[in-house]
Amino acid sequence: HGVFDQQSLEGAFEDVRKEVAVGGKKKEAKADKVHLLDSRRGQAIGIMLSRFKCSVEAIGRAVERMDARLLSADQVQALRSYLPTDDEAQALAAYKGDTALLGQPEVYFKRMLEVPLLAQRLEAFHFLLTFEQRVRALRASAGCVADACRQVLGSRSLRAVLATVLLVGNALNANTFA
């Protein structure tokens, strides 16, 4: 059996793209991404997108189709929180470079800008996803109100108190002329 050659194994998987830096030292070439958004906003969008288990393209299709199998109510709410502003939309529209060089937040905004009536669609999608939960909450509240009404209408003690209040009110107003 042969001798294990660690150097040749590492060399086979090594990134061979090198460029010479100032001073003659070599450094790895890094494809710089184009960032058109504010760095903090871009970072926040990147963090939000990292919580999705699908591509930006899949997110865009799911929003267009209002696909509840792919996106949850919480995810749609997160998307609603990060809509492109007019300035960001203009910056993306003005960018004429290679879209493969854009950062993930820029790619996300670019894809979302392709969705017709994006803000309204996300609002409707979120409403659709939370509708059953809202109905259950309203039914529970309506049930509480109905129970309270039944108790008020069936309370003999309350009737007695109201009758006493009426008698006192009538007695106080008996000698006044309106």
* Structure confidence at residue 37 (pLDDT): 83
- CATH code for the domain defined by 32-129: 1.20.58
Quote the percentage of the chain above a pLDDT of 70.
82
Contact between 88 and 37 under an 8 Å Cβ cutoff? The reply is yes
Query: What's the mean pLDDT in 17-24?
Result: 47
CA 32 to chain centre: 28
* Structure confidence at residue 123 (pLDDT): 97
Quote the percentage of the chain above a pLDDT of 90.
49
The number of C-alpha atoms within 13 Å of 74 and in the hemisphere containing its C-beta is 4
Whether the per-residue pLDDT at 154 is higher than 50: the answer is yes
* Structure confidence at residue 140 (pLDDT): 87
Whether the per-residue pLDDT at 31 is higher than 70: the answer is no
Domain ranges of the chain: 32-129
* Structure confidence at residue 12 (pLDDT): 54
Amino acid at 49: L
* Structure confidence at residue 7 (pLDDT): 60
pLDDT band at 4 (very low <50, low <70, confident <90, very high): low
- Separate counts of helices (H) and strands (E) for the chain: 8, 2
Instruction: Give the phi and the psi of residue 84 in degrees, each rounded to 5.
Output: -65, 135
Expressed in angstroms, the distance from the first to the final Cα of the chain is 118
Mean pLDDT score across all residues of the chain: 84
Q: What pTM did the predictor assign?
A: 0.62
Whether the per-residue pLDDT at 58 is higher than 60: the answer is yes
Check residues 127 and 30 and name the one with the higher pLDDT: 127
Query: What's the mean pLDDT in 116-122?
Result: 95
